Amino acid sequence: MSTAVPRGERMDTVPTSTGVATVSVDEHQLIKSLRWYDGFVVCLANPGFLISALGGAIGSLGALGALVLWTISMLIAVCQNQIYTEPAMMFPDRSGGVPIYSYMAWRRYFTFFGPMAAFGYWAGWTAVLSIFGLTVGQLIQGQWFPGATWGTSATGAHKYLGFIHFNLPVLIGIVLIVAVWAVNAVGVKPAVWVGYITGALLMIPLFVFCFFPYFTGSWHAVHMTWFPGSTGTWYSIRLAAVWLYLMGWSSYGVEAAATFAPEYHNSHRDTQLALRRSAMFSLGVYVLLPLGTGGVMSSAEIGKLSLNVSVVQFLIVELHKMIGNGFTDVVLVLLIASFILSMNTATMDGSRALYGISQSGLTIKWLNYINKHHVPSRGMTVDMFTNVLLLLVFGSALDIYAASNLGYIFTHVLCLSGVIIMRRTMRSWPRPLRLATPWLYVAGLLAAANLFFLVIGAPSFSITGYGNYVELLAGIGLEVVAILLYVYRRTVQDRERIVVQDRTEMVPNMALFREYFPESGIGTTPATSG
């Protein structure tokens, strides 16, 4: 028996704890308005993620050590993106990306992994707003307003505001966060066009940092050092694990293309292309950028600037060496535009993650909302206020970086292992793109590697020279909040009991597969879950 659905609305079949499917129809839905290259442009934010932590990595690992580890981290991300193409095709109508795939896989064994993955993933993405808002503020202050140090000394505003950090970089960051929210709230296309413009501008500073050091004679092989100051093999392994844990926040971000699977014109083709091409482009940048910038100054100089001034101050010094003061202004303006791209991507991805996890019953219903412009505006508003608070409380990019990373890496552990689990528990579920068996072994290996990075890296952040256990406790606290909101959703809003293991049979909505993958023939015959 079929159910008619009005034009412009979508019918979703949602399983309940009683095993009975219910049908919900929403007037406002995410619309299919994107092509693969739109997702690719959104992922151009990743070079900005690299730049935000590059100075700290070079100071701690040496330029050669940073280059090797960034390359390893990005190779892991490339493989993960290939693996994520399978679940992205399995749930084409679900916004939210990897946390949704994690929930679908692990709900049979431990339902609380769902909200933990969801909020962990969201935290990793939403923190981009505060990190890059602050980074832009530091670049502006360092280059054009070096004397504007109000609020940064013991006699400044910080002394009177207690734990609140408020200075020029923080103020600039807050203004940018609000501006990016305003652009995204009026629809996905304006946000994507911001991505096109800033993405094009990004190519110029990338070219300068990747290739100009060789043309200008500023690059010297003597600066390519390996783990300076290492005190033994175990210390080096531990330090490498900590940085691979932190680097995942940056390099793994190319999976954002999967978040937009419901919004691509051709879900099958566009999702694949966006994931693969964004990953390969970022791989090239993650090799060339550390190599180019790492040879201009010594690791000790870069580390000192990153620790005592800001994590991007060394870029200003290197630009002055290579191209002089006048052209430095131009390149910095373009670099700032790339950071705004990163903030734009974070708002798009983070808000859809909140919408997707609410849609899947993992957090409060209030976030399951699409406005008249077909964007999750409530999720965007939560992102905005959260990041303003992060700026005011932490006031340091790397502190925010570490605090938001625990749940994000844990989500990748769950999703990679979840792909293997779903092969066993959802055998007959439609897979428009089915990975070859060797990829399942790769998924298991990468899940174990990320778990190792997490266990060693999360409690050892202080050996990098930045932060302490406060960041770890913040990450754990967020997971506790995620569980409490999930309990509230289940017991108060849905009026259902808490189920630790949800073995409700999941039956795919074949009408959706016929809609999203008409060329595949999927959905022409009935299918049930394994």
What is the per-residue pLDDT across 230-242, written as a single tens digit (0 to 9) for each? 677 888 889 999 9
Q: Is the pLDDT of residue 23 over 50?
A: no
The answer to whether residue 230 is domain-embedded is: yes
- Looking at residue 204, its pLDDT comes to 87
CB 312 within 8 A of CB 135: yes
Q: What is the pLDDT of residue 529?
A: 41
Q: Which domain holds residue 29?
A: 10-516
Q: Judge whether residue 247 has pLDDT over 80.
A: yes
Q: Nearest Cα to 472, choosing from 486, 484, 460, 481? A: 460
Tell me: pLDDT of 40 over 60: yes
Please check whether residue 408 lies inside any domain of the structure.
yes
Would 3 be classed as within a structural domain? no
Threshold 0.75, pTM exceeds: yes
Residue 213's pLDDT band, with cuts at 50, 70 and 90, is very high
Q: Which residue has the tokens 């010594």?
A: 298
Please say if the pLDDT value at position 1 is more than 60: no
What percentage of the chain carries pLDDT values higher than 70?
86
Name the burial class of residue 452, with classes exposed (0-12), middle (13-18) and buried (19+) by CB atoms within 10 angstroms of its CB. middle
Say how many domains are in the chain. 1
Q: Find the Cα–Cα–Cα–Cα dihedral 67, 334, 301, 236, rounded to 10°.
A: -30
Per-residue pLDDT tens over the stretch 314-354:
999 999 889 888 889 999 988 888 788 778 777 777 787 78
196 domain-assigned: yes
What pLDDT, on a 0 to 100 scale, did the predictor assign at position 524?
Answer: 59
pLDDT per residue over 108-143, tens digit each? 999 999 899 988 888 888 888 888 898 899 889 888
- Give pLDDT, residue 29: 53
- 300 located within any domain: yes
30 is a domain residue = yes
Residue 530 lies in a domain: no
Q: Tell me what pLDDT residue 2 has.
A: 33
pLDDT of residue 17: 44
Q: Where does the pLDDT of residue 158 fall: very low under 50, low under 70, confident under 90, or very high at 90 and above?
A: very low
Distance between CA atoms of 324 and 107, rounded to whole angstroms?
Answer: 57
Integer Cα distance of 32 and 514 in angstroms: 15
CATH classification of the domain holding 201: 1.20.1740.10
Answer yes or no: is 526 within a domain: no
What is the crossing angle of helices 267-294 and 313-359, to 10°? 160
Give residue-wise pLDDT tens across range 257-290.
777 777 787 877 888 888 888 889 999 999 999 9
What confidence score (pLDDT) does residue 7 get?
Answer: 30
Give residue 96's pLDDT.
Answer: 62
